[in-house]
Amino acid sequence: MKTIIKTVALAIVLGTAALGVAQAQEVKVGFAAEPYPPFTSPDASGKWVGWEVDFMDAICAEAKLKCVITPVAWDGIIPALTTKKIDMIIGSMSITDERLKTIDFSDKYYNTPTGVIGQKTDKFEATPAGLKGKIIGVQVSTIHQDYATKYFGPGAAEIKEYQTQDEANQDLAAGRVDAVQADSIALDAFLKSDAGKCCDLKGYVKDDPAILGQGVGVGLRKGEADLKTKINAAIKTIRSNGTYEKFSKKYFTFDVYGK
């Protein structure tokens, strides 16, 4: 009889544990479906790697979420979130007032300046005067497109739009545009590559928080307070327990979290 009771008790414990696993919240995490090193890019086997992949793994483990990477075209990533094709965005998306009209954000998880690069042989500054008469490449549906259009476009430079940052960088290397504006860390990764040896950093643009935002956050649907609370708590924990610093050291020699 004791053996039977122990067997039943064990079955209940195992069944309860299995139920807990089965009920773990699955979250589809939207990444832009293109290389954006050092944040996200597919390796030779097709597996997504990079700083933001490590960040995702850390916060999902801390929040006890089952996170599934779901690549989405960048210009459709917010509609994918609002229509529930994905559940959150981890894709170097800056927190801006304009985006907050449509979606919500977690607390910031990194913040780096915006830079402009160009051919080494072409000397100019990252200012409206320096870029006058030039062709500037930017990725569509980004804060950089909005910023370049406002500050460099009207009567000064021609703004050329690209579906991916990689395409803009390639056209700069080929001489089809004179400059490219983007996040300084992503530009630095390009400059360190073989293709980027042609070019150098011309400077950082003047900050405009209304356009460039207050740092990068996890994009979330409005009204999902529980998920937002879990993500914010996870970000705070990995920042305080050393996890964030540990994986960041694989990619950066400075604190990417910023001010």
Q: What is the pLDDT of residues 168-178, one digit of tens each?
A: 999 999 999 99
- CA dihedral of 49, 213, 101, 145, whole degrees rounded to 10: -80
Task: Provide the H-helix boundaries in the chain.
Answer: 2-22, 51-63, 77-82, 97-100, 143-151, 165-173, 184-191, 209-212, 225-240, 243-248
What pLDDT was estimated at residue 259? 77
HSE-CB of 141 using CA atoms within 13 angstroms: 14
Burial (CB count within 10 angstroms: exposed 0-12, middle 13-18, buried 19+), residue 144: buried
Residue pair 120/132 in contact (Cβ under 8 Å)? The answer is no
* Residue 60 neighbours by CB under 8 Å, 6+ apart: 27, 29, 66, 67, 234
What's the CA gap between 112 and 250, in Å, rounded? 17
Kindly report the pTM of this predicted structure. 0.82
Domains of the chain plus CATH, in order, are 25-111+214-248 (3.40.190.10), 114-212 (3.40.190.10)
What pLDDT was estimated at residue 23? 63
What pLDDT was estimated at residue 154? 78
What are the two backbone dihedrals, phi and then psi, of residue 19, each rounded to the nearest 5 degrees? -65, -40
| Tens of pLDDT, residue by residue, the chain (259 residues) | 444 444 444 444 444 444 444 566 899 999 999 999 999 999 999 999 999 999 999 999 999 999 999 999 999 999 999 999 999 999 999 999 999 999 999 999 999 999 999 999 999 999 999 999 999 999 999 999 999 999 998 788 999 999 999 999 999 999 999 999 999 999 999 999 999 999 999 999 999 999 999 999 999 999 999 999 999 999 999 999 999 999 999 999 889 998 7
Q: Is 132 helix (H, G, I), strand (E, B) or coil?
A: coil
CB atoms within 10 A of CB 103: 19
Distance of alpha carbon 178 from the chain centroid: 25
What's the CA gap between 173 and 145, in Å, rounded? 19
Burial (CB count within 10 angstroms: exposed 0-12, middle 13-18, buried 19+), residue 183: buried
Distance of alpha carbon 81 from the chain centroid: 15
Give the pLDDT confidence of 88-137 residue by residue, as tens digits. 999 999 999 999 999 999 999 999 999 999 999 999 999 999 999 999 99
